[in-house]
Structures are given as C-alpha cells and as structure tokens.
C-alpha cells in the first residue's frame, strides 16, 4: 500500500469518527431539551392542584340546508335569542308548493275514480280487477303527496331548542346546496366545565365531587361539581376528560370562556 493511499484511508476514518461523535452529542442535547409531560400545577404550600378548564355549551349544533334553493329570509342575527320552534330560515319554494298542489289534485282524482268503480262493482257492472287497479292508483297518488309534503317541509328550518345564534354562515337571497352550513346555534340549557385530569384521580374523584372554577374573563371563582367522565383513558398521557357543571346561577358566563379548575384531593 502506497503512502498516499494510506493517508487517504486515515482521513476517511477520521472523518467518520468525528461525524459519529457529532451525532451522539446532538442526540444527547435534543433529549435534554425535550420537555417532560405536564402535571397539574401543585403549589409548594400544599394548596389544591389547578388544571386548565373550559366552558362548553350542553346544546349546540350547526343548522344546514336540506335542499338546493334560494334563501328568502333569515330571521335571526348573531347574538339574538330565539325560542324552540321559531322559524329561523325560509327558502323560496314556489316550485315545491306547486308540485304538492299537483300531487294533491291527482290524489283527489284517483279517490273519486275509485269511489265510482266501487259502486260499479257493487252493481256488478265492473270486475274486481278494475277496482284493484283503481285502489293502486289511489295508493300511488297518496305516496306522491307524501313525497311532495316532505320536500315542502324542508322549505323552512325551525329552532330545535331555545338558544342564541353564535354564527351566521349564509345570507338572504343566497343560493344554497344540500348540506351547506347556515347557522351555528347554542342552547340555553346551561354550560359544562371540561378539563383533562390525571387518570389516577379516578381512585377518589367520583360523580358529584365538588371543586372550584376560576374564570379568567370574569376574574371570579364559581362552585362546580363533577357530572361525568370521558369514555376512555388516554394511555399515552394517562389522562381522562372530566365534565362538570357550575352549581350556581351565573348569567355572565358564556361558552368558550376558560380558566382554572381548583380541585382538592380528599384528606
């Protein structure tokens, strides 16, 4: 082996060794910088642990269009309250109503024809087969009327519960397609307190367990209690969703507010 070749091999080995050392050093630095899983903040003076919490509505939904058509009017605006059954959205349904009227007229004609054929059968002037055909026509006409009424019923959208409009995603005179979101609404049925707690707390935290919630937006504390738990424990973070409720009247609270749940373990 020549001196030049030996020199080149030595340089390659030295470069490989330095690269390996650099990788090991960087890996150790990255592991040192990786944060540990967060735990509930427990003050050193023995106070109760605090966990981030959020207020969520018990009833909320997005009203969507069930038909293709033009919106005639929207009877609510963002922030306005409404009652259950109030008509919130009305569509232009001139064609659908005309089709329903036509189906009703056809049904009336079929029923009169059947009535006449029934008398003729009683007088033995017509066979039973013709009467059965007339009865089938009546059934078909009734089915057409039911289908037309089903389409017409989609010409307006009523509020499924009492609440407030949170967001308006469509405007009057806009053409919509089936499934297109129109309104986000929130019910007046109260608010839930949602938080993520360590799953080991299940050993002592049960439904009805009382705690305090500090809401950042109002700067006040409110009494609350646990109502139910999530359906499963997260095996990675070893945590579980906890749902509670505020146990006092608090009209100032709104969905989306957040704060800290102050939960004292049993002594």
pLDDT above 70 covers a percentage of the chain that reads 82
* Secondary structure (3-state) at 157: strand
- pLDDT surpasses 70 at 29: no
Output the average pLDDT for the chain.
86
pLDDT digit string (tens) for 107-159? 999 999 999 998 998 888 888 898 999 999 999 999 999 999 999 999 999 99
Count of CB atoms situated within 10 Å of the CB of 55 = 22
Please give the pLDDT value at position 30: 40
**pLDDT above 90 (res 6):** no
Q: Give the mean model confidence (pLDDT) for residues 81-87.
A: 95
Q: Give yes or no for residue 23 having a pLDDT over 60.
A: no
Instruction: Please give the pLDDT value at position 148.
Output: 94
CATH topology (fold) of 94-153: Helix Hairpins (1.10.287)
Topology adopted by domain 60-91+156-187: OB fold (Dihydrolipoamide Acetyltransferase, E2P) (2.40.50)
Tell which residue, 57, 47, 41, 48, has the closest CA to residue 210.
48
| Rounded distance between C-alpha atoms, residue 53 and residue 47, angstroms | 18
Fold (topology level) of 50-58+190-262: Elongation Factor Tu (Ef-tu); domain 3 (2.40.30)
For the chain, domain boundaries: 1-34, 50-58+190-262, 60-91+156-187, 94-153
- Axis-axis angle for helices 128-153, 94-122 (nearest 10): 160
pTM: 0.69
């Amino acid at each position: 082996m020549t001196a030049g070749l030996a020199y080149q091999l030595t340089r390659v080995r030295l470069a490989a060794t330095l690269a390996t050392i650099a990788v090991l050093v960087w890996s150790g630095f990255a592991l040192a910088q990786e944060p540990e899983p967060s735990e509930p903040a427990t003050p050193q003076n023995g106070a109760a642990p605090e966990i981030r919490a959020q207020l969520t509505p018990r009833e909320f939904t997005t009203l969507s269009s069930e038909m293709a058509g033009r919106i005639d009017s929207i009877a609510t605006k963002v922030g306005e309250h409404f009652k259950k059954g109030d008509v919130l959205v009305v569509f232009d349904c001139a064609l659908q109503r005309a089709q329903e009227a036509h189906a009703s007229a056809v049904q009336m004609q079929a029923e009169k024809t059947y009535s006449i054929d029934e008398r003729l059968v009683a007088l033995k002037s017509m066979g039973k087969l013709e009467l059965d055909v007339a009865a089938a026509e009546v059934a078909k006409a009734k089915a057409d009327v039911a289908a037309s009424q089903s389409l017409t019923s989609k010409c307006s959208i009523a509020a499924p519960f009492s609440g407030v409009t949170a967001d308006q995603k469509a405007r009057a005179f806009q053409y919509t397609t089936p499934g297109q979101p129109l309104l986000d609404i929130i019910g007046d049925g109260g608010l839930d307190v949602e938080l993520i707690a360590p799953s080991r707390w299940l050993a002592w935290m049960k439904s009805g367990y009382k705690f305090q919630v500090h809401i950042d937006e109002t700067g006040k504390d409110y009494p609350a209690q646990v109502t139910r738990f999530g359906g499963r424990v997260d095996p990675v973070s070893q945590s579980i969703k906890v749902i509670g409720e505020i146990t006092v009247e608090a009209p100032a609270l709104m969905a989306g507010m957040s704060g800290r749940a102050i939960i004292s373990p049993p002594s």
